[in-house]
Homo-oligomer: A and B are copies of this chain.
Amino acid sequence: MSARTDGGAVGGVRGGGDATEPGRGLRPRQDDGLPHRIARSAAARRGAGLRTEDVPAWLEERRRAHHFKVERIPFARLENWSFDEDTGNLAHHSGRFFTVEGLRVSTSEGPHREWHQPVIRQPEVGILGILAKEFDGVLHFLMQAKMEPGNPNLLQLSPTVQATRSNYTKVHRGAAVKYLEHFTHPGPEGIVADVLQSEHGSWFYRKSNRNMIVETTAAVPLDEDFCWLTLGQIGELLHADNVVNMDARTVLSCAPFPDDQPGALHSDTELLSWFTVERSRHDVHAELVPLAGIPDWKRGASSIDHAEGRYFSVVAVRVQAGSREVSGWTQPLFAPRGTGITAFLVRRIGGVPHVLVHARVEGGFLDTVELGPTVQCTPSASAHLPAEDRPLFLDYVLSTRKSYPSRIRYEAVHSEEGGRFLDAESSYLLIEADEAAAPLVPPAGYRWVTPGQLTSLVRHNHYVNVQARSLLACLNATGLRS
């Protein structure tokens, strides 16, 4: 046989040449012990490292240690970024990182049948990875105090590794990404989760990142910007505003929690069939177009804005930092207008908690629809619409929040990826509902699913969108799975 053999990057093989002996070289298809070790970590409110109550002070200390400074600048002061003369697309001179281009979307339903918008194009697949290790028989996760220019508070608790391919191929000639080798060369037994997941389909064109959790048994030197926390500790921190960043939330949502429930409103086969129908019934056409001259958007000296001031603006910032792979840079960011609402309605059905998912069309999705939260919107962006075109269930969320706070099972403000989005804050909510507010037979495009079913779906590509994954991570941090 041929020359090209596997570099061993993934998967080792036991058993060698004589593999015919029964059972020799085999592994169980599922690691039945793993979900229970995840649950044990989620139940652990104290860990082997920092105490939970000391984490905010530690983050504050790391923030002070790094002298991180971000300021808005006009586009003309971007360094190595410019608008292409022909297309008007905004790109880095190296051709790497990302570009801001135009997107034209047409769909077969909804209040907006066709629109144009700026979109971020970043074809490279990056790695978002959290390293795990047992201390005293409990899994701990290595979290990083990481600065991102778009975070409202600059520094948040982040995955062990956030690396674009540009990062680890050294396009910006900075220092090596710490702990990266655990994710580029994991041992096969150590992989807890490894799946390509989409990011914001309203802002990115077909972006996905590898979401990885890797367990190690090796000694891991602890860098000063990192700490080991249990899932229970991280869950407690998820109740605070703007502490756990988006990348950490999406990776954590892929943790294989056990499902101890007796069933669900719909079997898994029914759920997959419904999803197939949703993916088949929508005609969505999205294509990249030159950013220059897209209708309804205008470019100024310091921002690209929607004509009516809706949705978001494209802006530019200068960053100065000590702890990053490079010490300073300029870049574009997307700055949403207004705070978002990201909410799951929750009901107990037959005693089992269910959340109401929405099969959402977003222009930047690779494949028409993914499952999103019950409500995912920026209320200010739909305020001009007639009542029948406003997002379903938004009124229930807003009025419940105001008048029935006891139905709020979870609420915190979180921000989206601070490397691409400036002050992109949303209220993340889990809200109880009843038959009157949200019937068991919901409107078309909505379905009741259990957290266990969502956990099964996030093992695979492109079922659950990034906002719903964030909410799943928040849900895992409450008692709402059981």
* Contact A350 B23, beta carbon cutoff 8 Å: yes
Partner of A349, one of B26, B259, B350, B367: B26
Q: Is A382 at the interface (CB under 8 A from chain B)?
A: no
Number of interface residues of A (CB under 8 A): 88
Q: Is A286 at the interface (CB under 8 A from chain B)?
A: no
* Contact B7 A444, beta carbon cutoff 8 Å: yes
Q: Contacts of A269 on B, CB cut-off 8 Å? A: 31, 191-194
Q: How many copies does the complex hold?
A: 2
* Contact A5 B441, beta carbon cutoff 8 Å: yes
CB-nearest residue of chain B to A456: B29
Q: Complex Cα distance A283/B165, Å?
A: 12
Q: Contacts of A283 on B, CB cut-off 8 Å? A: 123
Interface centre among A8, A269, A277 (most CB of B within 10 A): A269
* Contact A279 B196, beta carbon cutoff 8 Å: yes
Q: What is the distance, in angstroms, from A124's C-beta to the closest C-beta of chain B?
A: 9
Q: Is A27 at the interface (CB under 8 A from chain B)?
A: yes
Partner of A440, one of B22, B25, B348: B25
Q: Is A437 at the interface (CB under 8 A from chain B)?
A: yes
Knowing A27-B264, A349-B25, A349-B26 touch, does A6 contact B442 (C-beta < 8 A)?
Answer: yes
Partner of A5, one of B444, B447, B461: B444
Q: Which A261-291 residues have a C-beta within 8 angstroms of B? A: 262-270, 272-274, 276-277, 279-280, 283
Partner of A27, one of B23, B210, B263: B263
Q: Which A6-27 residues have a C-beta within 8 angstroms of B? A: 6-11, 13, 15-17, 19-27
Q: Is A392 at the interface (CB under 8 A from chain B)?
A: yes
Q: Complex Cα distance A82/B9, Å?
A: 51
* Contact B444 A11, beta carbon cutoff 8 Å: no
* Contact B349 A15, beta carbon cutoff 8 Å: yes
Q: Which A89-148 residues have a C-beta within 8 angstroms of B? A: 123, 125
* Contact A125 B280, beta carbon cutoff 8 Å: yes
Q: Is A2 at the interface (CB under 8 A from chain B)?
A: yes
Q: Complex Cα distance A409/B235, Å?
A: 53
Knowing A279-B196, A437-B1 touch, does A266 contact B188 (C-beta < 8 A)?
Answer: yes
Q: Is A4 at the interface (CB under 8 A from chain B)?
A: yes
Interface centre among A188, A273, A396 (most CB of B within 10 A): A273
Q: Contacts of A27 on B, CB cut-off 8 Å? A: 263-267, 270
* Contact A191 B15, beta carbon cutoff 8 Å: no
Q: Contacts of A2 on B, CB cut-off 8 Å? A: 388, 392, 443
Beyond the given A25-B265, A29-B453, could you list 14 further A-B residue pairs with CB under 8 A, ordered by the A residue number? A3-B388, A6-B446, A9-B277, A19-B435, A20-B349, A22-B351, A24-B350, A26-B264, A27-B266, A29-B264, A29-B452, A123-B283, A186-B273, A272-B460
